[in-house]
Structure 1
Amino acid sequence: MKILCQERYEKAVAYAKEIENDTLQKCIDRLKQWEENPNCPCEMILFPKVCLEKDK
């Protein structure tokens, strides 16, 4: 899995831990499972929303 905005990701993980919310971790775990699917191998790439806004 590629994370193109490591600083933002780390802040999100820290915040989720601070508020004791495991939703983000469950989402990341699910994405990792998709990567490991032998029927459809792929690589997930997480990038900041800012990248999406630039393309509009």
Structure 2
Amino acid sequence: MLKKYPDLYSLIDQEPEADQFYNSLPDYVREMISQRATSVNSFESLQNYADNLLQGDR
């Protein structure tokens, strides 16, 4: 089952894998994700949002 959190900060505080993934992202991607912290409530949503932001870099 997908674990949901109140926001990005709760997610990365409680899930080491999510924290490691978030910290591996480029600064501009982390900044954009943090601007929508309340919309990021699971590791899956974090990955999906990061993938969407990074698509332009490929």
* TMscore range, shorter length: 0.3 to 0.5
Higher RCO structure (Cα 8 Å, ≥6 apart): 1
Calculate the TM-score normalised by the size of structure 1.
Answer: 0.34
Calculate the TM-score normalised by the size of structure 2.
Answer: 0.34
Structure with bigger helix share is 2
Q: Which has the larger radius of gyration?
A: 1
